[in-house]
A = this chain, B = another copy of it.
Amino acid sequence: MLFKVEMDVNIPLDYDPARLDELKAAEKALSQELQRAGKWRHIWRVAGQYANVSIFDVESNAELHDLLMTLPLFPFMDIRVAPLCRHPSSIHEDDR
């Protein structure tokens, strides 16, 4: 099941740079792990903003929520979620 998840990241100006780098590294590692597992199907950067548009492929709302809660940068994020489903015009078999 697919969800559009938009994440805007807001880092306080005075946040500890070293700590932030750790969080970013952990975020990247987890994101890539979830991408390899097929959960985090797409992640694109929104040009000009510290934000991304992602497509998650999960079994349930709960799984989506649990995944997002584990993101190291979750506390810095404004997140908007929209449930998606197959479009009648789509030619892609797996674009459920």
Contact = CB atoms under 8 A, between A and B. Distances in A.
Interface residues of A, number: 50
Nearest to A48: B81
Contacts of A80: 48
Contacts of A2: 44, 61
Contact of A47 (B11, B85, B92, B95): B85
Classify the secondary structure of A's interface with B: mixed
Contacts of A90: 35, 42-44
Nearest to A5: B48
Given A12-B13, A48-B68, A49-B79, A87 B4 contact: no
Interface of A: 1-5, 11-13, 15, 27-28, 31-32, 35-36, 42-49, 52-53, 55, 60-62, 64-65, 68, 75-76, 79-92, 95-96
Given A1-B62, A3-B48, A12-B13, 6 more contacts: A42-B42, A42-B92, A45-B85, A47-B83, A53-B84, A81-B83
